[in-house]
Amino acid sequence: MMKKNIFTIITAGIILVILALYLIAFQVRLNEQVVLTTFGRPVLVLSEPGLYWKWPWPIQSLYRFDSRLKVLDSKFEETYTRDGKNLIITASLAWRIQNPLKFLESVGTELEAEKNLQSVLRNYKNAVIGRHPLNHFISTDSGSLQFDEIEEEMLKLVSTETEERYGIGVEFVRIKQMALPEDTTAKVFERMRKERERIAERYRAEGEGEANKIRAEAESERDRILAMAEAEAKRIMGEGDALAAKYYGVFSENEELAIFLRKLDALRDTLKEKTTIVLDTGMPPYDLLEGMPELNE
């Protein structure tokens, strides 16, 4: 009986020690931040993992917050660009609790924090989109797109407010999804078609200009070659005329020889093929044949 009472006392003592430890000791886990309050007033913020001590409730209380990065998506809703075009955009942001004390005082819970983040993201998303024309979001010219700049503007505005008001740090803001209403889609496609036609027309004009250039160069080269050929022909003709004039000079000194040679040329031209001619031998140049000795076959 005595042994049973001792066992009961030891067991009760262990339970009391565990209960006392539960009331006065606590653990901060990895990726966790803890705010310790005394009579409801924050007195300590703990972020290093380990075992800590406190006064039991209701003197001191603990508020635990997850310090890991969380992602929040905005609602898929319609907004307007600077040039009055409709866009349907979903944006997302990644956030974490940066100042747990301010977070506790301003929002208290992650659920309430997400409600506030939704409102902040929606306001600044619409404000930034309203500063940019449609071609910063959709364009056939990649140089007109400004997604990085737009996301950077959103991040700067959103993070500034969330840090100051809620103790929440925003790591990034991204345009997650984008669509166009039906009427805007038709206008965009029409504009893209015209843009393509304009580019095609520019290429055609450039091609025509290049073709004209090539034709002009070819014509210039042709004219140059013809001019050179004509100059060479004139040179050769000049040399021929000079040579002919030299022979004409010889002929002028002996007219009978010149006439005889001319008659020989005429005979050679008319009798170079097998030809039968019946003519008066007194007719030049056949008069040369008169008096020639007969050839024995």
pLDDT tens string 210-232:
888 888 888 888 888 888 888 88
Instruction: State how far the Cα of 173 lies from the Cα of 151, in Å rounded to an integer.
Output: 6
More confident residue, 99 or 241: 99
**Domains in the chain, start-ordered, CATH in brackets?**
2-66 (no CATH), 70-187 (3.30.479.30)
pLDDT for 117 equals: 95
pLDDT at 196: 74
pLDDT digits (tens, 9 = 90+) for 51-66: 888 888 888 888 999 9
Strand partners, 61: 37
Report the pLDDT value the prediction gives residue 88, as an integer from 0 to 100: 86
pLDDT the model gives residue 297: 45
| Model confidence pLDDT, tens digit, residues 138-176 | 877 788 889 899 999 999 999 999 999 999 999 999 998
The model's pTM is 0.56
For the chain, the average pLDDT equals 81
Per-residue pLDDT tens digits for 70-100: 999 988 888 889 988 888 889 999 999 999 9
Task: Write the Ramachandran bin of 12: left for phi over 0, alpha for psi from -120 to 50, otherwise beta.
Answer: alpha
User: Do residues 176 and 77 lie in contact, with contact meaning Cβ atoms separated by under 8 Å?
Assistant: no
pLDDT, average across residues 241-257? 67
| Cis peptide bond upstream of 284, omega within 30 | no
Cα–Cα distance measured from residue 166 to residue 101, given in angstroms and rounded to the nearest whole number: 9
Interval 87-135: pLDDT, tens: 888 999 999 999 999 999 999 899 999 999 999 999 999 999 999 998 8
The token duo for 85 is 């075009």
d(C-alpha 281, C-alpha 235), whole Å? 43
Whether the predicted pLDDT of 282 surpasses 60: no
